Amino acid sequence: MRPLLKVALVGAGPGDADLITLRGMRYLQEADVVLADALIDPAFRRLVGGVTWIDVGKRGFNTRDGKPNCPQHQITSQLVLYARCGLRVIRLKGGDPSLFARGEEEIAALKAARIEFEVVPGVSAALAAAAATQRPLTRRARGRSVTLQTAVFDEQGQPTLATTFGGVNPQDHSDSLVLYMVGQQIEKTATYLVAQGWAKDTPVVLVSNAGSDRQVVSEGTLISLNQLACRHHGQPTVLTLGVAATPVIGSKVPGLHAVEATNIAA
């Protein structure tokens, strides 16, 4: 068994605490201090006794409960400070530390401080949404590429940075697209996707709180996205679009003969 180094950036997975990896959970139990994202399942805190748990209050998409976000540089400073004090520190992040998780800033600071660390991957929201809806992100032959992306818009509804949403021209699009953190801007995203040449009847699925008991799933087409939006506002939401959003249709296996349903386990 690999022991915890001084510091680990650990992916907590997308929702319920049992979607963390075995290694991630073992490291949590060996830690002195945990710096946890605000959206982390509260069950984690109960599962790991004896550690100092610090909620770094990073909500990302939502501060409407009045609690301010903890600025990234303060989180990063705490990480370095505790490690320098000789503590075993876990930075616990929702989903996976390498996807839309500001991992770069924390890795840069740890490297500058010459602190040894490990990144423990986790299940990202796109994968959890696909599992929950039983709609694989890739499909044989017709769905072989999927682009993961975020969308940030200015007040005029224009993306604040060059954002191609899977390709500027319709023929260049990925087969499927998953947009993270759309909870606050579903309408702007819909308008922009149509302007980018995605057909209005492109299948879409919205999943909020993927992989948790509070999960909300809506499906439709790109043109109906605005009607679907109200159930998802203000929640951590991923939008899946294209081939990956289509339901899998039941289809019998060729050559599978009917067998009697006898319980041979008994």
Residues 38-67 that bind its own copies (CB under 8 A): none
Q: How far is the CB of 170 from its own copies (least distance, A)?
A: 11
Dist. CA 137–CA 130, nearest whole Å: 6
Residue 111 engages its own copies in binding (rule: CB under 8 A): yes
Q: Tell me which of 39, 119, 186, 241 binds its own copies, using CB under 8 A.
A: 119
Residues 6+ apart with CB under 8 A from 58: 37, 38, 69, 70, 72, 75
Residue 250 engages its own copies in binding (rule: CB under 8 A): yes
Instruction: For the segment 135-154, give every residue that binds its own copies (CB under 8 A).
Output: 135-141, 144-150
Dihedral Cα 190, 181, 238, 202, nearest 10 deg: 20
Of 61-69, 216-224, 226-234, 247-255, which segment contacts its own copies by CB under 8 A? 247-255
Q: How far is the CB of 19 from its own copies (least distance, A)?
A: 5
Out of 37, 41, 96, 175, the active site residue is 37
Nearer to its own copies by C-beta: 230 or 264? 264
Residue 249 engages its own copies in binding (rule: CB under 8 A): yes
DSSP 117: E
Torsion-angle region of 197 (φ positive above 0: left; ψ -120 to 50: alpha; else: beta): left
Site string for its own copies, 186-215 (x = CB under 8 A): -------------------------x----
Angle (deg, nearest 10), helices 72-84 and 103-112: 40
Site string for its own copies, 68-87 (x = CB under 8 A): -----x--xx--xx--xxxx
Q: Distances from the Cα of 249 to the Cαs of 131, 134, 227, 239, in angstroms?
A: 15, 11, 25, 21
- Residue numbers annotated as active site: 37, 58
